[in-house]
Amino acid sequence: MINKYRINLFFVFALIVLLLSCRNNNLEEKSINTPARDFLLDGEAESDDYTIHGYILLSSKLDNSQRYLKICESYLRHFDPVSDFKGDNPSINLIPTYWLLNSDARVAVDAFGSQILLQMTCNEYVELYDYPRAKTLLSKAKKLSANGPVLAAWSTRGISHKLLTFDISNFDENDSDRAMLIWKERITMNPNVWNNGLKLVIVREELRSFLQKYGDEIISVISV
């Protein structure tokens, strides 16, 4: 009798685990990955509210300012600010791509509030960019020699975190803008790329035309 009770209890427990697993999978499938832009100030950590973090990494303003201005304009054109989605549908899974800002930008925020950042121009974003922080991330990604921009993203899901980088340093202007759009629509917001671990095969397929033109080295994945 006791053994029969234990067997029944085991099956009940197994059924509960299965139902919870299905529920979590359904929630994940229904969750809408929504790319957005956000700022990360000097000394500020990424928000735990997000499961995927993206970055635009620039190496040095020297001799690159005009190129970075074009990238900034493309970034603003293709990504809406995270503030536009606050309080929206809870099923939305926001995926920010950060523009890193230095201590001078933090001073401005302390004096005038965070809204001052949305009123700035690309000239100011490039001038106030946090190049030392970007170099730290580029070093982790083994991309320290890249002129930038390098698009990077990593997921906080799971135990082993993988950092994906897409180096568009040598892209011409039209390709850079198209790369930014593809990064938004086919990489960061594509659940097939991120669910149950980063899928490099899918990333390479989505970026196949760029790989053929600029070489395999524009894409890399490392453990962080």
pLDDT at residue 21 is higher than 70: no
pLDDT at residue 15 is higher than 70: no
pLDDT value at position 175?
94
Are 90 and 30 contacting, i.e. CB atoms less than 8 angstroms apart? no
For 194-199, the CB contacts below 8 A with 24+ separation are 194/33, 194/51, 194/52, 194/155, 194/157, 195/28, 197/157, 197/158, 197/162, 198/155, 198/162, 198/164
Q: What residue spans define the domains of the chain? A: 1-30, 32-223
Identify the CA nearest to 175 among candidates 125, 218, 144, 128: 218
pLDDT at residue 110 is higher than 90: yes
Mean pLDDT (the chain) is 82
Strand, helix or coil for residue 34: strand
For 201-205, the CB contacts below 8 A with 24+ separation are 203/164
pLDDT at residue 217 is higher than 70: yes
Report pLDDT digits (tens) over 133-168.
Answer: 999 999 989 999 998 899 999 887 655 578 899 999
Can you give the pTM of this predicted structure? Answer: 0.81
pLDDT: which is higher, 186 or 170? 170
- Bridge partners, residue 151, by sequence: 56, 166
